[in-house]
Chains A and B, each alone.
Chain A
């Protein structure tokens, strides 16, 4: 291939140099990388706090921190992981970097708005840090900021809530940008059903972001107003209804879990066919299930509130709707497995992460049904069962999809290949740690250990010790994985070819790392995005 300068050498707008060429950039690829570093920073912080929490729970009573610190620490862990990591991670990093490329275009529709989203993200993060050290310290409410406690507590709720508001704005603008890009900047030759599945999943995600995020914005604003003016909209003493807060909160926050998982599913839908050298099973079914999840997922919010005192009719309806969401999710899982069936599978680190994803996500999804059915929910509500469930979906799901995406697209983003052996070891270590960490929590939860509590009864001691051992393994696995990726950027670089994996979406037709406007010549759009006949005729050498 002719050597064209990569986007690292050609700043956009032209003429900017040094740090300015990054901080003022309009290039979606540079923004993707800037998100990558910022999000990785928060991820490591959130991970460390999580580990400290786990160490605290290793023994009964006080281990390393006081109860008050513990309360703030689990809130901080939640806020960082939800608002600063899981929600933006895949859309902001890989969406920004690859969505325009997969569509065969040179950038997103609103490049300057994209830069603004990044600044809003950074601003939100800074506010979160500031709220740690001002006016009473970080909130101790949990990331849900439930009233009346969030209005009564002396900790610094308003600033943290405002940070979440700003982060919501950032995510909303990214969604807006993606929808417009997909509608207006798609290569003219690409029809709707020729769009790669990762981009499709981002399209569904973007709609959920636009649909739901304003609801959390207004809810958080109301919390701030209550703190400032004591209006009493959620205060029963003044005629308000605290349950309404929970409704408003989950009206956003449940759809938000699909904002977290849908892009992850998109990543897996790219990786599985690539390493199966086979068209994905049920392309249309996956597309429609993404949209179905986006729609159905917006109608299930009150299943977080079965014990809040809703009417039985409401419980019944929300439980039923919750079960319905399982259908499109299962369609995806079966399609991935069917793609692997009788395929010529090539094992690589991204595929290993993707396979682990399928397993962990399935466990997370199935335990979700235990929580979604009204009867069993009452037994395990607010126990460690819930903690294990959502970590299986959010961490085992989105987290592992993020790791898979990192390993899959790393060669394209940086033009280097990483060490496979270390990547496999890290993946295994992380997974083993993960199982030891969260499986005991299912059992602890079934036995009745409540979540978010600082201390526990003697019968929960063994499970907690086991979970802490798992936590340490998990932590070291992830650190090893990150070190391995960092090492690929230093030392002796192993250059990656344009198509090291044998992928057949458009990003693999251009050099690694890509040139400024992505495509040197007009991209050739395939009749069907997962047509591997060219790849099979000329297998990749790497």
Chain B
């Protein structure tokens, strides 16, 4: 392919793509809004059953990883390759820790018989079933995005290591960073909606 010197255009394309991702989650937030209106007390009860400590921890982890991604872009622009790699690796590790936490959280709920179509949920109050149904769908889809984001970070890491991403040409890193921020941003909305609900 011919050179693509137009960084702004690449960025526009990426922002448009991120926008479609937000709408994708937007559909789920619409469902959340309607069902929250229908079953607000069940939702509040459901929220108390989630582990706020792990939830807060995960929020902090994602915020830190977002920060290190942003820093890695600044690092590559200042031609500090080693620092950039280190920061990317930190973000990657944070993402992995997030997923591990999520795994234990889900596992814990499964052990208590709370999973889609489980007897506990289907025989319990309707609002509870919907709350946990949405919980699994939204955090599951978010988890999938974390995995995609981690793949992009790995790809960027390799390209920085190979000197394919440089101070002059860092669109891939920047766009991976933007994607990672999106993953973070969506979590910032998911967290209060499920964990901090009153």
* Contact, CB under 8 Å: B126 / A215: no
Known contacts A26-B1, A183-B9, A239-B39; A233/B27 CB under 8 A: no
- What B residues does A238 contact at CB under 8 A? 121-122, 126, 129-130, 133
Stretch of B28-36, B58-66, B105-113, B180-188 contacting A (4+ beta carbons < 8 Å): B28-36
Stretch of A107-115, A465-473, A505-513 contacting B (4+ beta carbons < 8 Å): A107-115
B17 within 8 A of partner (CB): yes
* Contact, CB under 8 Å: A176 / B129: no
Pick from A179, A219, A230: contact of B27, CB below 8 A. A219
- What B residues does A240 contact at CB under 8 A? 130, 133
* Contact, CB under 8 Å: B130 / A214: no
A218 within 8 A of partner (CB): yes
Complex interface bits, A204-215 against B, C-beta within 8 A gives 1, otherwise 0: 000000110111
A231 within 8 A of partner (CB): yes
B93 within 8 A of partner (CB): no
* Contact, CB under 8 Å: B136 / A231: yes
* Contact, CB under 8 Å: B126 / A239: yes
- What B residues does A241 contact at CB under 8 A? 34-35, 38
Stretch of B18-26, B94-102, B147-155, B161-169 contacting A (4+ beta carbons < 8 Å): B18-26
Please count how many residues in chain A sit with their CB below 8 Å of the partner chain's CB atoms.
Answer: 39
Pick from A110, A172, A229, A244: contact of B34, CB below 8 A. A244
- Which one of A109, A221, A238 has the highest number of Cβ atoms from chain B below 10 Å of its Cβ? A238
Pick from A185, A229, A244, A251: contact of B116, CB below 8 A. A229
A232 within 8 A of partner (CB): yes
* Contact, CB under 8 Å: A233 / B34: no
Pick from B1, B8, B26, B31: contact of A233, CB below 8 A. B31
- What A residues does B21 contact at CB under 8 A? 214
Smallest CB gap from A176: residue in B: B16
Pick from B13, B34, B35: contact of A109, CB below 8 A. B13
Nearest-neighbour CB distance to chain A for B92, whole angstroms, equals 25
- What B residues does A210 contact at CB under 8 A? 16, 19-20
* Contact, CB under 8 Å: B9 / A109: yes
B143 within 8 A of partner (CB): no
Complex interface bits, A157-175 against B, C-beta within 8 A gives 1, otherwise 0: 0000000000000001000
Known contacts A109-B13, A112-B1, A184-B8; A232/B26 CB under 8 A: no
- What B residues does A233 contact at CB under 8 A? 31, 130, 133-134, 137
List residues 195-239 of chain A with CB under 8 A from any CB of chain B. 210-211, 213-215, 217-219, 221-222, 225, 229-233, 238-239
B49 within 8 A of partner (CB): no
Smallest CB gap from B115: residue in A: A229
Q: How far is the CA of A109 from the CA of B24 in the complex (A)?
A: 24
Q: How far is the CA of A214 from the CA of B6 in the complex (A)?
A: 27
Known contacts A26-B1, A238-B126, A239-B39; A217/B34 CB under 8 A: no
B78 within 8 A of partner (CB): no
Nearest-neighbour CB distance to chain B for A249, whole angstroms, equals 10
* Cβ contacts A to B, 18 pairs, < 8 Å: A110-B13, A176-B20, A179-B16, A180-B12, A184-B12, A211-B23, A214-B21, A214-B27, A218-B24, A218-B25, A230-B116, A230-B117, A231-B137, A233-B133, A238-B129, A239-B130, A241-B35, A251-B27
State the A residues within 8 Å of B (CB): 13, 26, 109-113, 172, 176-177, 179-180, 183-185, 210-211, 213-215, 217-219, 221-222, 225, 229-233, 238-241, 244, 247-248, 251
